[in-house]
């Protein structure tokens, strides 16, 4: 594994995003390695539950857009015709990697500390249970420009009105707010986060694997019947479109000329919340 660490302790499989020097930013390799780890846990009869976490200062800062935006990838030249199928092939494969958490036979508990933004939220929201530090940050700022959440899990996790509140603005929630909104199952203080996650996965691990799988299939069926697959298809198509609008090209051009962080700062400063949760000012 080049982007993740995988280990098993007792009945718990632990998957850790392991690019701390890049804020665990997502590369094309990461979703594929994630799916491999989930499959390994599912095929291991000793594993009852999967614990997902991130190394370093935060869970995940989203896609490695320094690579994507500053070094314009193929099929992103505004002077050339855009092939949406090429975009679809790339992003739908990433979607399948993220959704391996949702489709996993074994329950997945995601621990978030520091930050979980942009594409990082795809992994967190595809997990079954989210435990986030009270002072952490979670949100999808690319809703402002250059992105659409491919997993489209926001409405399923928050309901339509609260999902619109976040996606119409690109605002982020603190962990405490995520708990209040029902996005997280717990939001302990940072110093208590590890202990609370270990207590939760420990309790889940005591339940027989067959019972856990039946309970997960039962609840997931509700989302399937609500059209999750069709919604994700639309979200993935829209993500490609968002990167090929006039505003999307301008954002990528700014990133190429001045650096990705400068482009993000310019995008977010007008909202008065660069690097901060809107709800905390």
- The domain spanning residue 113 has which CATH number? 3.90.226.10
Across the range 65-83, mean pLDDT stands at: 81
Distance CA 17, CA 5 (A): 7
Bridge-based pairing state of the strands 49-54 and 12-17: parallel
When divided into structural domains, the chain yields a total of 1
Predicted confidence at residue 67, as pLDDT, reads 67
Q: How many CA atoms lie within 13 A of 29 on its CB side?
A: 9
- CB-CB contact of 69 with 267 (8 Å): no
Would you place residue 42 in the very low, low, confident or very high pLDDT band (cuts 50, 70, 90)? very high
Collapsed DSSP state (helix, strand, coil) of residue 184 = coil
DSSP 8-class letter at 26: B
Residue with tokens 């855009």: 82
pLDDT of 172-187, one tens digit each?
A: 999 999 999 999 999 9
* Residue 51 belongs to domain spanning: 4-280
pTM comes to 0.95
pLDDT of 226-267, one tens digit each?
A: 999 999 999 999 999 999 999 999 998 898 888 888 999 999
Predicted confidence at residue 277, as pLDDT, reads 47
- CB-CB contact of 193 with 147 (8 Å): no
Predicted confidence at residue 85, as pLDDT, reads 95
In the chain, % of residues over pLDDT 90:
87
Predicted confidence at residue 274, as pLDDT, reads 62
DSSP letters of 174-220? EHHHHHHTTS-SB---HHHHHHHHHHHHHHHHTS-HHHHHHHHHHHH
- CB-CB contact of 163 with 155 (8 Å): yes
Distance CA 276, CA 148 (A): 21
pLDDT of 184-219, one tens digit each?
A: 999 999 999 999 999 999 999 999 999 999 999 999
Exposure of 28 by Cβ count < 10 A (0-12 exposed, 13-18 middle, 19+ buried)? middle
Neighbour count for residue 189 (Cβ, 10 Å): 12
Predicted confidence at residue 168, as pLDDT, reads 98
């Amino acid at each position: 594994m080049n982007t993740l660490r995988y280990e098993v302790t007792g009945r718990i499989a632990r998957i850790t995003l392991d690019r701390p020097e890049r804020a665990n930013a997502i590369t094309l390799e990461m979703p594929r390695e994630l799916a491999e780890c989930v499959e390994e846990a599912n095929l291991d009869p000793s594993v009852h539950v999967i614990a997902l976490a991130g190394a370093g200062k935060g869970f995940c800062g989203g896609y490695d857009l320094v690579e994507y935006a500053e070094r314009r990838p193929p099929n992103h030249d505004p002077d050339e015709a855009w092939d949406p199928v090429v975009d679809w092939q790339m992003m739908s494969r990433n979607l399948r990697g993220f959704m391996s958490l949702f489709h996993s036979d074994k329950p997945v508990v995601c621990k978030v500390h520091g930050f979980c933004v942009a594409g990082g939220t795809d992994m967190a929201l595809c997990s079954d249970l989210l435990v986030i530090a009270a002072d952490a940050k979670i949100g999808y700022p690319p809703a402002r420009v250059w992105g659409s959440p491919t997993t489209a899990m926001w409405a399923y996790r928050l309901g339509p009105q609260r999902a619109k509140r976040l996606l119409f603005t690109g605002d982020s929630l603190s962990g405490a707010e995520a708990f209040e909104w029902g996005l997280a199952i717990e939001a302990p203080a940072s110093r208590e986060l590890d202990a609370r996650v270990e207590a939760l996965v420990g309790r889940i691990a005591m339940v027989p694997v067959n019972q856990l799988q039946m309970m997960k299939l039962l609840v997931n069926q509700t989302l399937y019947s609500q059209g999750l697959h069709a919604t994700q298809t639309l979200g993935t198509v829209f993500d490609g479109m968002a990167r090929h609008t006039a505003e999307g090209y301008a954002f990528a051009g700014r990133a190429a000329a001045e650096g990705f962080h400068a482009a993000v700062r310019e995008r977010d400063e007008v909202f008065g919340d660069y690097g901060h949760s809107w709800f905390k000012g």
